[in-house]
Structure 1
Amino acid sequence: MNTSTVIKGHQEKIATRVFNSREEGSKYVAKVIASLIREKNKLGKPTVLGLATGSSPLLLYKELIRIHKEEGLSFKNVITFNLDEYYPMDPENKHSYYRFMYDNLFSHLDINPANVFIPDGTVAEENLDEYCADYENKIRSFGGIDIQVLGIGRSGHIGFNEPGSLVTDETRLVQLNSITIEDAANGFGGEENVPRYALSMGIKTILQAKKIFLLGWGEAKSEVIKQAVEGEETTQVPASFLQRHSDVLFVLDRPAASRLSRIESPWLTGSCDWDDRMKRKALIWLSRQVGKPILKLTEKDYKTWGLNSLLQTAGSAYDLNIEIHNSLQQTITGWPGGKPGTDDKTRPERSKPFPKRVIVFSPHPDDDVISMGGTLLRLVDQGHDVHVAYQTSGNIAVFDDDARRFMDFVYGFSQKFNVAQDQIAKIHEEIRDFLAQNPDEGNKNSNVLTIKGLIRQGEAAAACRYCGVKEQNIHFLELPFYETGTIEKKPLSSNDIDIIVKLLQEVKPHQIYAAGDLQDPHGTHAVCLNAIIGALDKVKDEEWAKDCYVWLYRGAWQEWNIEDIEMAVPISPDELMRKRRAIFKHQSQKDVPVFPGKDSREFWERAEDRNRMTAKLYDELGLTEYEAIEAFRRYHFLDKSKNNLF
């Protein structure tokens, strides 16, 4: 996609710009902000910025810090107003937006603290009206906000202007929406700990800014972004009121923009480049619109639903239907490692060599069985030499009580068998006392983290044994970027990549499976995939790599779109039950995991529902009916021009 032009599509009421990644988008906005600051610094005038919190602006702030440190941009003449703060909230509380801003931006700049304005979560309730009016007056006293940075919540909120907010609202106390509370729950250790109120600039205040950037990242935001950009103005989607502003730009990555009409169904909004993928996408869309299998679509269906240009380009409806039906049929294979002794020209995988050496990379210690457990079982059953490589320890995703329970077991074991009692007793006492004195903060203790990592290793090994993976083929890589004990991770480094390079050179795989599920809410999947891509770049000239296929699966958070699936592995009812049992081996993630995300279902339920839904979609398109299907896309690391993944 060309990212050099601001586009306002036929159905778009707000200008949007789509970038290949959130890093690119963040750097673009940082460049605009830096340019304005330099211009105003030369004139001796202040720059007034409206700033947001949350995950959306983090990379923007990182880039502004880099520009300050490496390019000498001074923030001494910059004045900032933050959008919001939880209420009540002490500024020194680790959850406060005051702390967030200083930790992620202000403490790294030469900004004057007197020029930093953040709503005060300690103001007495009886003084709030006066305080909020004063906040508005301060903004006006500096001539208004030059550039306002926004994120967008799944509820459509900007700032904390939740559904029901009015375009006339100014800074005030607001009650948080249940979706907002749910989204904040992980950071607060549960919904019950999230404040129910916040102080927030109003929509009127935001619209008075001279220029507005809204940053939108990830597929989870795609639906509400579509509503804000293409829908009618409504109090139910407060971001839709940005349609009233004359200089607003939505800065999006591809997943966040994926539901916009010009991307989701471009044939309805203008000219369309009818390549093979777009033809498949259009026919799948048409089939679902009219409720017919692909082979039953008629020329009238094409014309009624605006696909005249496809008919003109590609010929008759009959020929198109057969072409696309066959292309979908050819993605289905019960032999994910290739079927020996067969003609493989129309199959996703090669028949030779057989058996293959296979590495399944799993970002966390359960992503393998959750995301592709049926395929993993089939690869083992069909005789391939399957290795499973767990990229991170997953240690922070274990409850403290589980760590204590396992330590109690070890202590009891040592007493029963008279093994190293003194040393184990000492460690047991230290852990017991630490957890008692520091509730819910076990991840701050290295011994507790070690135990949690061992718990997850044991569960992963049990799942592999159940699937038939050889003990010597189970690899715990413990990539260094992850080992911080907190959700915040270190940047990916050459140390991480070199660990993967070493494994690749040892195994010399014919097949690699890796997680392409980039909507993991904490970003671990994306870092793990980048580590694999970095490693493949290092080994791509080795002889074995020239005949290695890389298949990407998705996990508990999303599935590939049907038009993008290149290998579909059917899962029988019995195999689906075996997959469930493999997932159950991960007992620390059963029932209620530490990081459940925004989906209340257990991981095995999400996986089964997603696999059944994929099978149902294939069935509705007129293909063979299966119980479930696991889906994959191929990553071409030897010729990246063939990739159109993210």
Structure 2
Amino acid sequence: MVAEVRYRNLEDISYKEAGIYENTRFEKIHNVVYDNSNNASYKVAHEIAALIRQKEKDEMYCVLGLATGSSPIKVYEELIRLHKEKGLSFKNVVTFNLDEYYPMEKDNVQSYYDFMHEYLFNHIDIPKDHINIPSGDTHPDKILETCIAYENKIKKYGGLDFQLLGIGRTGHIGFNEPGSHYNSRTRLITLDHLTRTDAASSFLGLENVPKRAITMGIGTVKEAKRIVLLAWGENKAEIIKKTIEGEITSQVPATYLQLHKNTTFVLDEGAASLLTQYKTPWLVGPCMWTEETISNAIIWLCELTSKSILRLTDKDYNDNGMESLLAKEGNAYDLNIKMFNKLQHTITGWPGGKPNADDTSRPERAIPEKKRVLIFSPHPDDDVISMGGTLDRLVEQGHDVHVAYQTSGNIAVSNHEALKFVEVVTTMDCNNNVFNTIVEAIQTQENFEFNTPELLFLKGVIRQKESLGATRYLNISDEKVHFLNMPFYETGAIKKKPLGEEDVEIISNLIKEIKPHQIYAAGDLADPHGTHRVCLDALFSAIEKIKLNDFMKECWVWLYRGAWQEWGLHEIDMAVPMSPDQVIKKRKAIFFHQSQKDRVMFQGDDSREFWVRAEERNQDTAMKYHQLGLADYAAMEAFKRYHF
């Protein structure tokens, strides 16, 4: 189902009128918001398919500008399905890709040439000579010449009929980084540090990411007859807000699209979450005051005025677009008391429920007194990083706690770490041929992050044993620790297989075996193709499959966030405070994951170690509660309940 939006759906927009829409008070680019990226991708793919068919009917080439990255993957999958099942032909299609790293060989798995063939071209009937991708192996002396030829070839075909875009967190489209000129053309460009950081996981480290790229220019992109930009997940929300609501500036190149008359941004709810009409709808116009909207508005008002909840006045509400809420609820005093109590009731030191207590105003049930708890951890350290304090509480309070590590996390162990471990083994047993082979392979390979089946196995064992060290430290017996090794992950490479029925079956079988009263899982809403999100989708699919079982009627699902983000205060249903001693204990549990402590393979753009990120995030949550007028705790872990 499509989420409720202010604008017409994509299929209702004709080319002539796509640039004409009912504007909001703040938005300068037409956008459509869907409840998830799969539904959005389906709509975009069908718009492209309709264009291809119309051009075929008119006996004309359909000239498509294509993008790479995770955002368009589902669009390409649907186009492939339409080709194989519905007879969609690409024989009249000519494609021009936006960009390519430089230098980059075509057969390199990180090349966009490889990406496009793997995700689209190898599966459709497009003529090979209709495929155009900037050449990353061009001789330096020939770059200007080849860029001009690329531009001329686009013009030869009459320009781009449709340009598909993603957006980087610097606001780049293609690789047009901040500072790019409005009339820029295809050229060699130096990549922004943040762009390279975002690509680091694909290259197994920032040091391996090329510093330059060849990109189609802003001037080339803006001449396309139709532009659709895709953005998924909360990690794109900030740049989407700047692009759609901000002023046109070369520092956010995507803002140039405000001047294009036929552009639509296609977003999921995560990417749209910071747009004014979604984050603070009371500033846009008449607002539907739901319980969640009221909570969000009052917390926002406290932050704006630097006041605690109980100090807000009628004037504060009236001066900041919330007069309709005041009229609905009566007065600030009643609103403040209601909100204060709501937040107060989310706080509990008994995440499994407090025995023999009135649970009317508590986030968890008192009965059964001792619960079976199943904690799903996407990687072998997410449990202690994101909810180590709560996990410790659940064990100490006598609940039957199980931990399930959904993936091996093996590719996140560097060869440096693997070599360190295997050399210990070979020192003790110099006759072990398997380990000697691994040592020799690591020491003789130029690419220090290659993998072999034996090496991947070793890395998986390293992460298993680190996990067991942490769970033993928290007094969880080994038989209650489950290593699921979900098949979608076990490719030995960054690129994963699609989530399959076998993955879902593994999850559902474990739930049926344990019959938990509580499930905890990573509720990551950022990258829809990231491991956390895929693991969450697998859990949701498993729950859907088995939810009619009797034991599921007593099962509650609690979602925690990953290492980078936390729930907004208005989203939190349970907040578990930690004492200073518990903060230290959680830190020590994280330290057992030694292979992830210092030289981390997938650091992201945050240079802090995982334990520092987690600690500061938990402290920040506690501080925010205190600033709203509630008790002062050292740290807090937060959870949102998922209702199925």
Tell me whether the two structures share a fold, i.e. TM-score over 0.5: yes
Q: Answer yes or no: is 1:572 the counterpart of 2:587.
A: no
Report the Cα distance in structure 2 between the residues aligned to 1:495 and 1:98, rounded to whole angstroms. Answer: 31
Q: C-alpha displacement at 1:403, in angstroms?
A: 2.1
Code of the aligned partner of 2:510: L
Per the TM alignment, residue 358 of structure 1 is displaced from its structure 2 partner at its CA by 0.8
Give the Cα separation in 2 of the matches to 1:577 and 1:615: 16
* Correspondence for 1:481: 488
* Of 397-406 and 546-555, the range deviating more from structure 2: 397-406
Q: Distance in 2 between matches of 1:189 and 1:356?
A: 41
Q: Partner of 1:619 in structure 2?
A: 626
1:403 — aligned with what? 418
Is residue 442–residue 449 contact of structure 1 (8 Å, CA) maintained in 2?
no
Q: Within 5 Å, which residues of 2 pair with 1:121-520?
A: 121-414=136-429, 421=431, 425-440=432-447, 444-519=451-526
Greater alpha carbon shift after TM alignment, 45-54 vs 167-176: 167-176
After the TM superposition, which of the residue ranges 14-23 and 430-439 deviates more from structure 2? 430-439
Identify unmatched segments of 5+ residues in structure 1.
Answer: 416-420, 638-646
Q: Which amino acid aligns with 2:586?
A: K
Confirm or deny: 8 A CA contact 1:18 1:252 kept in the other structure. Answer: yes
Q: CA deviation at 1:520?
A: 6.1
Higher alpha-carbon deviation: 232-241 or 197-206: 197-206
Cα offset, 1:506, TM superposition: 2.2
> How far off is 1:208 after superposition?
0.5
1:36 corresponds to = 51
Instruction: State the 1:476 CA deviation.
Output: 1.3
* Matched position secondary structure for 1:481: coil
Alpha carbons 2:232, 2:526 under 8 Å: kept:
no
**What is the identity, as a one-letter code, of the residue corresponding to 1:332?**
I
Give 1:182 shift: 1.5
Partner of 2:87: 72
Counterparts of 1:393 and 1:526, CA distance in 2 = 16
CA shift for structure 1 position 522: 5.8
Q: Output the amino acid matched with 2:56.
A: N
Give the letter for the 1:67 counterpart: L
Summarize the Cα distance change of 1:550–1:101 in structure 2 as closer, same or farther, 3 Å threshold: same
Query: 259-268 or 404-413: which moved more?
Result: 404-413
SS at match of 1:188: coil
CA drift of 1:439 comes to 4.1
Q: Give 2:29's match in structure 1, choosing from 14, 26, 33.
A: 14
**What corresponds to 2:13 in structure 1?**
none
| 2:8 counterpart (5, 9, 16) | 5
- Secondary structure of 2:521 counterpart: strand
- After superposition, the Cα gap between the structure-2 partners of 1:492 and 1:93, relative to the gap in structure 1 and judged at 3 Å, is closer
Distance 2:55 2:604 in 1: 43
Deviations 1:113-160 (A, max 9, x none): 111111122333333333222222211111110000111111100111
Code of the aligned partner of 1:259? L
Does the 8 Å CA contact 1:82/1:117 hold for their aligned counterparts? yes
- Asked whether 1:540 is paired with 2:535, we answer no
Residue 58 in 1 paired to residue 73 in 2?
yes
Q: Distance in 2 between matches of 1:571 and 1:409?
A: 38
Q: Which shifted more, 447-456 or 130-139?
A: 130-139
Q: Give CA deviations for 1:369-398 in whole Å, capped at 9, x if unaligned.
A: 000000000111111111111111111111
CA contact (8 A) 1:517 1:557 kept: no
Say whether the 8 Å CA contact 1:400–1:440 is kept in structure 2. Answer: no
Report Cα offsets for 1:440-475 as digits up to 9, x if no partner. Answer: 466631111111111111011110011111222111
Verify: 1:597 aligned to 2:604, yes or no: yes
Query: How many Å apart are 1:548 and its aligned residue?
Result: 1.2
Contact 2:200/2:602 (CA < 8 Å) preserved in 1?
Answer: no
With over 3 angstroms needed to count, the CA separation of the structure-2 counterparts of 1:463 and 1:206, relative to structure 1, is same
For residues 608 and 153 of structure 1, do their structure 2 counterparts lie closer, same or farther at Cα, with a shift above 3 Å needed? same
Structure-2-length-normalised TM-score: 0.95
1:72–1:437 Cα change, 3 Å:
farther
Q: Secondary structure at the match of 2:247?
A: coil
For residues 89-128 of structure 1, what are the structure 2 equivalents within 5 Å?
Answer: 89-128=104-143
Question: Partners in 1 of 2:388 and 2:629 — Cα distance?
Answer: 26
Partner of 1:418: none
**Partner letter of residue 524 of structure 2?**
D
1:274-298 per-residue CA deviation (whole Å, 9 max, x = no partner) reads 0111111100011100000011000
DSSP-derived class of the 2:270 partner: helix
From 635, 639, 642, the equivalent of 1:635 is 642
Structure 1 residue 552 and structure 2 residue 559: aligned? yes
Alignment length (residue pairs)? 629
Checking the alignment, whether the CA contact within 8 Å between 2:519 and 2:558 is kept in structure 1 is yes
What is the one-letter code of the residue matched to 2:326? Answer: L
Q: Which amino acid aligns with 1:538?
A: K
| Greater CA drift, 541-550 or 513-522 | 513-522
Q: TM-score, normalised by structure 1?
A: 0.95
SS at 2:488's partner residue? helix
CA distance, structure 2, for counterparts of residue 483 and residue 326 of structure 1? 47
CA deviation after TM superposition for structure 1 residue 197, in Å: 1.8
Matching residue's letter, 1:485: G
Identify the residue that residue 531 of structure 1 maps to in structure 2: 538
The answer for the alignment partner of 2:14 in structure 1 is none
Which deviates more from structure 2 when the two are superposed, residues 539-548 or residues 333-342?
539-548
Q: Which amino acid aligns with 1:48?
A: V
CA contact (8 A) 1:521 1:597 kept: no
Show the counterpart of 1:644. Answer: none
The one-letter code sitting in structure 1 at the alignment partner of 2:493 is: T
Check conservation: 1:223, 1:259, Cα contact below 8 A.
Answer: yes
Residue 477 of structure 1, CA deviation: 1.5
Q: Does 1:583 align with 2:590?
A: yes
Moved more, 617-626 or 90-99: 90-99
Q: Could you tell me whether the CA contact under 8 Å between 1:188 and 1:194 is conserved in 2?
A: yes
Residues 592-643 of structure 1 deviation map (CA, whole Å, 9 limit, x = unaligned): 2111122111110110111111111111111111111100011112xxxxxx
- In the TM superposition, residue 559 of structure 1 has moved relative to its aligned partner by 0.8
Aligned to 2:569: 562
Q: Distance in 2 between matches of 1:439 and 1:464?
A: 36
| CA RMSD, Structure 1 to Structure 2 (Å) | 1.6
Identity score, percent: 55
Measure the CA separation in 2 of the matches of 1:521 and 1:253.
10
The separation in 1 between residues aligned to 2:174 and 2:515, in whole angstroms, is 50
Counterpart AA for 1:562:
L
Secondary structure of 1:2's partner?
A: coil
